Amino acid sequence: MNIVVMGQGAMGLLWYHHLSQAQKFQTKKTQVQNKGTGDIYPLSKLSLLASNQQNLTQNYYQFTALNNQTYNGIVNYAQPEQLQTADTVFLCLKSYQISDAITQIAEQLKTSCTIILAHNGIGTLEKLPQAIINKHAIYALLTTHGCLRNAPLNITHTGSGVSSLGLISGNKCGEQDNVRDEQITSILHNALPLVKFETNIAIKQWLKLAINCVINPITALNNIDNGLVNNTQFTWQIEALLIEIIAVAKTQGIALVKEELQKSVQEVAQATEKNCSSMRCDVLANRQTEIDYINGYIHRLGIKHNIATPENTKVWQQVKGLGSKL
Ligand code: PAF
């Protein structure tokens, strides 16, 4: 198994670190084994493809674990031969970077190479060239792990979480595909548990999207920590956003329940009360936000299906406006 992790941000390095530890310490006991055939899947090659790696002189990273222990690890930067033989390319990038990033490497990848997308929001698949969609099985990975980038190639794991992996595009027809799903899930789970394979990842993507559609713009527009989203001043706005999301989700065959979404938003805001949401951090750091793939996605689907989404459209425009003032 040859894995190339793409992206040297917090999530990219979190996975790179755990996969490299799993590779280093794999023994007969911890190697991933197919329960049916008994085949062993050793993680034999791991590399990191950084966005600007030709300019990077540093070849080590620093990782601070949940128990505050610090590790220095070597970065094995991906070279063309790693991409050409990759079994999985794991993109830990922002949603707006996905299409360009895959297009740049696509010609080098073999057909059997699977692609994993780990980002906030939905809508990146639609932006990919059809040839790439036809060629590769594509998975989405959703995670609740918290991780902070302190400096370039220096991250802290701030909160333990769980991850879900599911196929969003590509064949799902035979025994071979089941083996492939099991193999990828096992390798990721072995590195950073828990990772669960979901046959219906779409519903999980929509649940996460709904949470991001509420917490991200409200925290970014009001410059507040996540916990303050539970303040009653936002109750009406949260309800309006969720009602529109539920109507749009229905057009995709996804049934969401308002009360359940309200509860999830409340719980996530509470569990991450002192955190700065990714969108607020992006705005504060003058970076592009993922708003086009969060409330912007609801806005676009609303237009396509003739459903009014005034509140999502409003916050989408307001967050875009924040960017243009910077
Ligand atoms: O984007 C984020 O920051 C996170 O996905 C979430 C759930 C809003 C918590 O901070």
Question: How is the chain split into domains, by residue range?
Answer: 2-199, 202-325
Higher per-residue confidence, 155 vs 322: 155
Q: Whose CA is nearest to atom 6 of ligand 1?
A: 277
Alpha helices, DSSP H, located in the chain: 10-24, 80-84, 98-105, 130-135, 175-191, 201-222, 235-250, 258-271, 278-284, 295-304, 310-325
Q: 326 falls in which pLDDT band (50, 70, 90)?
A: very low
> What is the reported pLDDT for 115?
97
Atom of ligand 1 minimally distant from the CA of 216: 8
Q: Which of 11, 92, 120, 204 to mutate to test the pocket of ligand 1 (most atoms within 8 A of CB)?
A: 120
Q: Whose CA is nearest to atom 7 of ligand 1?
A: 212
Residue 8 has pLDDT above 90, yes or no: yes
> What is the reported pLDDT for 191?
95
Q: Are 196 and 186 in contact (CB under 8 A)?
A: no
Task: Give the angle subtended at the CA of 96 by the CAs of 171 and 287, to the nearest 5°.
Answer: 155
Q: What is the pLDDT of residues 231-254, one digit of tens each?
A: 999 999 999 999 999 999 999 999
Percent of the chain with pLDDT over 90: 86
Q: What is the pLDDT of residues 302-316, one digit of tens each?
A: 999 999 999 999 999
Cα 291 to chain centroid distance, Å, stands at 14
CA of 85 to the centre of ligand 1 (A): 34
CA of 213 to the centre of ligand 1 (A): 10
CA of 325 to the centre of ligand 1 (A): 23
Residues with CB under 6 A from ligand 1: 120, 211-212, 215-216, 226, 268, 272, 275, 277-278
Residue with tokens 């099991």: 182
Q: Whose CA is nearest to atom 5 of ligand 1?
A: 212
Helix (H) or strand (E) holding 155: strand 154-159
Residue 171 has pLDDT above 80, yes or no: no
Q: Whose CA is nearest to atom 1 of ligand 1?
A: 278
Percent of the chain with pLDDT over 70: 93
CA distance 178 to 176: 5
Q: Give, in words, the CATH class of 202-325.
A: mainly alpha
CATH topology of domain 2-199: Rossmann fold (3.40.50)
Q: What is the pLDDT of residues 99-124, one digit of tens each?
A: 999 999 999 999 999 999 999 999 99
